[in-house]
Structure 1
Amino acid sequence: MADISARRRIWGWYFFDWASQPYNTLLLTFIFGPYFAQTASQVLMDGGMAEQAAKAQAQAWWGYGLTAAGVVIALLAPMLGAVADSSGRRLPWIWGFSALYVIGSFALWWTAPQSFSVLWALAFFGIGLIGMEFATIFTNSYLPDLTPDAGTRGRISGSGWAFGYAGGVLALIIMIAFFQDAGGGRTMAGLAPLFGLDPATGADTRVVGPFVAIWFAVFMVPFFLAFRAAPVTRKSSGFQLGKGLADLWQTLRRLPQTPSLLAYLGSSMFYRDALNGLYTFGGIYAFGVLGWSIVDIGVFGIVAAISGAVFCWVGGRVDSAIGPMPVIRACCVLLILTSGMVVTLTPTSALGMDLAAGSPLPDILFYLAGALIGAAGGALQASSRNMLTLQGNPERMTEAFGLYALSGKATSFLAPALIAIATDLSGSQRTGVLPVVGLFIAGLILLSWVKTNGEARA
């Protein structure tokens, strides 16, 4: 990469976050996920199932699909990272998994209500999700290569995450302004859906798949141009599957001898799972407890994403100044306090105070909670990515990010399961959020065994 400037490589690396973020924003959270639930439940109701049972079954199917994709990612991520490190080749893997991203997301176009298949819809979505997650592992492993100065990596990581949030917000605005029918055959911008997309066939919604695929393909160009001359870090005649797996086994055996890395993988496993629980159930909580509409929830999501973009940028600069550890701890504490505030909210009460019916305070505080979750959650993920570069072996960084992905997926069921059990036992959605606090606390406790600069620099 000698003929490509460091600045251009950094901006190319940023563009992966910009290109890939809409999979989370548009497909997982705000557009396709709700479309799947709505369409699948309608299919079940047409078959004679009661409405509430149909909605529960559709949600369960969505959860099973995400779980299946998560298991694949958890099982394969460390192995693929080890093989890539052993061969020194990362870019071919990014090309391959980018292809899965594009194929899986584009195929969501073929999920029309009239011929809807739950299996195929989940399979298409899972293929794209696996492609995104694996491509992220390999692109994240370039972070230490962007600068020899560990002190500036926090700023780079935070800026990249902020850039990605901005891309997700812009893609969402384009989708709802030009494609998504908001009622009466008009989008939220008052326009007819582009290209004559017919809401009766779900075309205005399922176009989100091809839109996300094209977005990714276009905005990955700067990344591939910036890294087209990326050097192979080890001489290799192939992908060396056997050597990669042997190296992975040795790394796993040595984990107890690297207690800082082991503790960090465990800590991040708990607090990232808690954060995902907040992201996953925030909209459901607003709908069930505060009675918000889908439009309200969409605005809530945009507020959270914008806040995340701003504070990722700010957090990255704080990270560069004082290191990732204080940022991670502060974000976990803020998320614990925010979760506690959310539990106090009902339409007629907030922070332990009874309110008059129709008081705007609960809604205002929940919007504030969304902004705080976006801010702390974004900065937490960006600094966590940087912290791993200090904990992992510099010569086995892709493998380290594979283990990071494994730790993130190994218990991805934990927050949803604990929330579901607590809600079921208490009969209260508000009480159901409390396990998230416990997961954040567990993550904070394990951070006590993490050395700020890893084993080598302790």
Structure 2
Amino acid sequence: MTHSKEISARKRIWGWYFFDWASQPYHTLLVTFIFGPFFASVAAQYFLGTGLDEQAADARAQSMWSLGLGFIGVFIGLGAPFLGALADSSGRRIPWIFGFSLLYVVGAFGLWFMLPDGSNLWWGLCAFGLGFIGAEWALIFINSQLPSLVSNKGTGEISGSGFAFGYLGGVLALAIMLLLFVEQANGKTLIGLDPAFGFDAAAREGTRFVGPFTALWFIVFMVPYFLWVRDVPVAGAAKASVSAALASLGRSLKSLRHNTSLAAYLGSSMLYRDALNGLYSFGGVYAALVLNWEVTQIGVFGVIGAISAALFSWLGGKLDQRLGPKPVIIVAIWLLIAVCVVIVSMSREMFFGAPLAADSALPDFVFLLCGVFIGGLGGTLQAASRTLMVRHAKPEAPTESFGLYGLTGRATAFLAPTLIGLATMVSGSARLGVSPVIGLFLLGLVLLRWVKPEGDRS
């Protein structure tokens, strides 16, 4: 173990930051701003060709994407508790992170093969799901490493800085894709170039390259993580054992009965993080289907959102350090609810019931502003949530407590996409389909009432 002592605490923290930098493009490029909207627009065109009218085709496309995300979320949620406990029983995390990194890379690379005529939509959805499972399961183990990096007092700033660094990586990756690869309707990129590497604009190869690009980005920037981060030896750790994992999971769940603040917090964060993921997953899809934006426009929206996320996360980390994470979380949720109300109340034709001129730029401007707040407040909310979890972690077994946070973070990952899918099907409107997110945020706020700012240890 001598080599692990030679790695300074500063290098370990920077190595840990690099996971955020390496993995953020899956969320920024694939879930939200390039592949998600590309999938939705391809699916909508495909369903339009089957004889559906435009609104019905849009709703069918959004339902397919949302129910697909819902199924993937169920799979992540069912596997996460067991995997976390299995890793906890052995004290080893890095081999698991390496394995899930392989899923991430294979899934992302597979998106290249989804064709723009909509003939293999299921392939695109399955490849996306495989990579997303890898990204989310790896994150469980990454988050559980936070308490071992720094003392409790420093976690707010480290958590915020990690998210900020990740968002900057997402911005840079998105800018490269928009400037050099993603083609507009005229076949040129955002700065008027042909897609790089001789990609065929007619076959949407520039846009489809987002999959291999995301995979390559991850491979390159995970190198510092694997060089500088080591598993911390755990006293009494044994070889990974299924029975030990199940016993540990059972003990953790039973202990929640006597830990009111932690139980309330896990429930609250489960709901509001799910709502936030719903917003991230459908921001770009909403822009494509409701506002008829091109992928390049959505990408610019993404750059603005990600830059604000980096700035807000960093500032949120500073506020978290001064005020504590709970007030930061409450303010962020209320502001996100206000943003959701605006989104649901707006379309190309009207704004809060008031009709708009056909050529009005108001929806575009308002949605760009919403993007600033979704990105910024989302980053702040996630960073402060990670800190509040550290305050609830048991000093004698921080990884077990923190593992539960990662597990519950995906336990209802199917909820927002499924509710959005059902609301879209029932209302027949991609705009109204986003409304269930508001209810999830409100439920999360209600449960926060029982959460102690310093955790049960206070």
Normalised by the length of structure 1, the TM-score is 0.89
Write the distance in 2 (CA, Å) between the matches of 1:422 and 1:180: 31
Label 1:425 to 1:136 Cα distance change in 2 as closer, same or farther (>3 A).
closer
Matched, 1:2 2:1: no
Q: Which amino acid aligns with 1:171?
A: A
Q: CA deviation at 1:31?
A: 1.9
Residues 18, 166 of structure 2: 8 Å contact kept: yes
What is the SS of the residue equivalent to 1:454? Answer: coil
Q: For each residue in 1:241-265, what CA deviation from the matched residue of structure 2 results, as whole angstroms up to 9, or x when unmatched?
A: 2111111011112211111111001
Label 1:175 to 1:352 Cα distance change in 2 as closer, same or farther (>3 A).
same
Label 1:356 to 1:208 Cα distance change in 2 as closer, same or farther (>3 A).
closer
Root-mean-square deviation (CA, aligned residues, Å) is: 2.8
User: Residue in 1 aligned with 2:168?
Assistant: 166
Worse-matched range after superposition: 106-115 or 3-12: 106-115
Matched, 1:88 2:85: no
User: Residue in 2 aligned with 1:265?
Assistant: 266
1:210-359 residue pairs with structure 2 within 5 A?
A: 210-227=212-229, 229-287=230-288, 290=291, 292-345=293-346
Q: For each residue in 1:323-372, what CA deviation from the matched residue of structure 2 results, as whole angstroms up to 9, or x when unmatched?
A: 11111111112112333344454557657877777555554333222212
1:28-39 residue pairs with structure 2 within 5 A?
A: 28-39=31-42
Residues 169, 302 of structure 1: 8 Å contact kept: yes
Residues 43, 121 of structure 2: 8 Å contact kept: yes
Q: Which amino acid aligns with 2:442?
A: I
> Of 175, 193, 196, which aligns to 2:195?
193
Worse-matched range after superposition: 58-67 or 5-14: 58-67
Write the distance in 2 (CA, Å) between the matches of 1:356 and 1:45: 26
Residues 25, 174 of structure 2: 8 Å contact kept: yes
Q: For each residue in 1:51-70, what CA deviation from the matched residue of structure 2 results, as whole angstroms up to 9, or x when unmatched?
A: 64555444433333322221
Q: CA deviation at 1:91?
A: 0.9
Label 1:369 to 1:54 Cα distance change in 2 as closer, same or farther (>3 A).
closer
User: Residue in 2 aligned with 1:139?
Assistant: 142
Residues 177, 210 of structure 2: 8 Å contact kept: yes
Residues 77, 410 of structure 2: 8 Å contact kept: yes
Q: For each residue in 1:170-204, what CA deviation from the matched residue of structure 2 results, as whole angstroms up to 9, or x when unmatched?
A: 10111111122224442222222222112233322
Q: Which amino acid aligns with 1:271?
A: Y
Label 1:353 to 1:209 Cα distance change in 2 as closer, same or farther (>3 A).
closer
User: Residue in 1 aligned with 2:102?
Assistant: 99
Worse-matched range after superposition: 155-164 or 119-128: 119-128
User: Residue in 1 aligned with 2:442?
Assistant: 441
Residues 327, 383 of structure 1: 8 Å contact kept: yes
Matched, 1:62 2:65: yes
Normalised by the length of structure 2, the TM-score is 0.89
Write the distance in 2 (CA, Å) between the matches of 1:169 and 1:275: 19
Report % sequence identity.
54
Residues 84, 398 of structure 1: 8 Å contact kept: no
Residues 182, 195 of structure 2: 8 Å contact kept: yes
User: Residue in 2 aligned with 1:110?
Assistant: 113
Write the distance in 2 (CA, Å) between the matches of 1:181 and 1:288: 18
Label 1:101 to 1:431 Cα distance change in 2 as closer, same or farther (>3 A).
closer
Worse-matched range after superposition: 422-431 or 294-303: 422-431
Q: Which amino acid aligns with 1:300?
A: F
User: Residue in 2 aligned with 1:79?
Assistant: 82
Paired residues, number: 454
Residues 85, 395 of structure 1: 8 Å contact kept: no
User: Residue in 1 aligned with 2:24?
Assistant: 21
Write the distance in 2 (CA, Å) between the matches of 1:37 and 1:343: 18
Q: CA deviation at 1:165?
A: 0.8
Write the distance in 2 (CA, Å) between the matches of 1:55 and 1:285: 10
Matched, 1:391 2:402: no
Q: Which amino acid aligns with 1:241?
A: V
Write the distance in 2 (CA, Å) between the matches of 1:236 and 1:306: 41
Write the distance in 2 (CA, Å) between the matches of 1:340 and 1:358: 23
Label 1:27 to 1:309 Cα distance change in 2 as closer, same or farther (>3 A).
same
Worse-matched range after superposition: 214-223 or 380-389: 380-389
Q: Which amino acid aligns with 1:35?
A: F
Write the distance in 2 (CA, Å) between the matches of 1:45 and 1:347: 20
Write the distance in 2 (CA, Å) between the matches of 1:63 and 1:332: 22
Q: For each residue in 1:211-241, what CA deviation from the matched residue of structure 2 results, as whole angstroms up to 9, or x when unmatched?
A: 11110010001111111x4332234452122
Write the distance in 2 (CA, Å) between the matches of 1:54 and 1:425: 14
